[in-house]
Amino acid sequence: MSVPIINTPNGLLFPVKFLGKGSFGAVYLYQTYANVLLPPTYHVCKFFYPIAKKVKSIHNEINVMNNIYKLLDGCHEYLICHTSKLEIPPSNDYYQDIFNFLKTHSREILDPTISIYGYISNYIEGPELSKYIFNSQEDCANYITQLFDALCILHSKGIVHSDIKPENIVFNDKIQKFVIIDFGLSCIYPQEKSLTHKQLLVRDEVSTSCSRSTDIRGTALYTPNKLIHARASANKQGKVLTSNERKFQDIYGVMVSLFKLINYTYPYNTIIINNRYFSDERTYKQSETSFPLIDKILNYFFDTYLYNDYNYVCNLFTAETCIPLFENVLKFNFNT
């Protein structure tokens, strides 16, 4: 089932093809009107399922995308770019067409009395990182430096992605850059320092803030187990997880993703999952590939993580420090 033409602040958008679906919604490719003199521009429309219990999470993702655009004063080549918000009430002429489209993709019952929300973003043509082939150490080096550059930009504005993994990174064929997508689990630290958990809860931005000390987001295999212990400690002391503790989750996701893609396995020797997150003290495999400098970086990272205090690791491996730290290794001849 297709979707209708939609009217946006930037004009009419025409449906091209279905791109995919997830637990929160479905994604469709659109294009602007085109003729001989005016080639089309392509956009991605993400429509969220109208389900009452998911409305809070839906608004979180939309608000984060809005805030990223505002905080960065526009788009950035390493990040998917939100261009406008969609709100389609049941009274809208094309509500029923979009509702029926979403109904064919949702595993849950949709509520026809709830508005359909969504947003429009730029279209990135290229493979997911999970389908990208690293042919050389230079490829790996580009991935590391570009991802940490992107995280530097996000983290400097207090934005934590919280779900860095191969499925949420796309290689943009047009500009030859890696791009971070899907900010559905992201949160933002307020600029003020030393706010208590209760003070944060009364803020208007609570739906997008990183203020909930009990809330750890993300995918288990790309989440540091020491973050779980840090959360438990923070809860006992009535504190909020520090920004570096949460930001390290993004760093960790970058490194686990690279390890998996060049070693064809996760870096863990044992995998024990309690509910959704790891509960074991992990031990790590050594990276052994045809890329010795990259192996050195990965093994140094996971060894340092494993044998040191979490606070020390979080302060050592920030997006800002990782770039010069790993560039010191990468500056040697890649062919050696």
Q: Could you please state the CATH topology (level 3) that the domain comprising 129-330 is classified under.
A: Transferase(Phosphotransferase); domain 1 (1.10.510)
Q: How many CB atoms lie within 10 A of CB 154?
A: 24
Q: Provide the pLDDT for residue 326.
A: 81
Q: Is the pLDDT of residue 201 over 60?
A: no
Q: Which residues of 61-88 are buried (b: 16+ CB within 10 A; e: fewer)?
A: bbbbbebbbeebeeebebbbbbbeebeb
The tokens describing 132, both together, are 């990208």
According to CATH, where is 1.10.510.10 located in the chain?
129-330
- 1-5, 15-19, 263-267 — which is least confidently predicted? 1-5
What's the length of the chain? Answer: 336
Q: Higher pLDDT residue, 96 or 76?
A: 96
Burial class (CB in 10 A: 0-12, 13-18, 19+), 326: buried
At 210, the pLDDT band (50, 70, 90 cuts) reads confident
User: Any idea what DSSP says for residue 207?
Assistant: G
Give the pLDDT confidence of 277-300 residue by residue, as tens digits: 444 556 788 999 999 989 999 999
Q: How many CB atoms lie within 10 A of CB 314?
A: 26
At 229, the pLDDT band (50, 70, 90 cuts) reads confident
At 8, the pLDDT band (50, 70, 90 cuts) reads confident
Architecture of domain 6-122: 2-Layer Sandwich (3.30)
According to CATH, where is 3.30.200.20 located in the chain?
6-122
Give the pLDDT confidence of 15-27 residue by residue, as tens digits: 999 988 888 899 9
Place of tokens 């890329």: 291
Beta strand 42-48 with 25-32 is antiparallel
> Helix, strand, coil proportions of the chain in percent (round to 5)?
40, 20, 40
pLDDT, averaged across the chain:
82
Q: Is the pLDDT of residue 236 over 90?
A: no
The tokens describing 1, both together, are 């089932």
Round to whole Å and give the CA distance between 149 and 245: 19
Round to whole Å and give the CA distance between 317 and 247: 9
Round to whole Å and give the CA distance between 264 and 31: 37
Q: Provide the pLDDT for residue 148.
A: 93
Round to whole Å and give the CA distance between 296 and 137: 12
Helix, strand or coil for residue 1? coil
At 192, the pLDDT band (50, 70, 90 cuts) reads very low
> Hey, CA dihedral for 9, 11, 14, 17, is it positive or negative?
negative
Q: Provide the pLDDT for residue 149.
A: 92
Q: Provide the pLDDT for residue 180.
A: 93
The tokens describing 276, both together, are 């959704």
The tokens describing 290, both together, are 């045809």
For residue 284, how many C-alpha atoms fall within 13 Å in the half-sphere facing its CB? 23
Q: Is the pLDDT of residue 232 over 80?
A: no
* Mean pLDDT of all residues in 92-104: 92
244 closest CA partner among 152, 317, 161, 304: 317
Beta strand 277-278 with 169-172 is unpaired
Distances (CA, A) of 55 to 24, 48, 52, 96, 178: 10, 9, 5, 19, 30
The tokens describing 153, both together, are 């930009």
The tokens describing 250, both together, are 């993004």
Helix, strand or coil for residue 160? strand
Q: How many CB atoms lie within 10 A of CB 290?
A: 9
Q: How many CB atoms lie within 10 A of CB 140?
A: 23
* Mean pLDDT of all residues in 85-90: 90
Q: Provide the pLDDT for residue 165.
A: 95
Helix, strand or coil for residue 273? strand
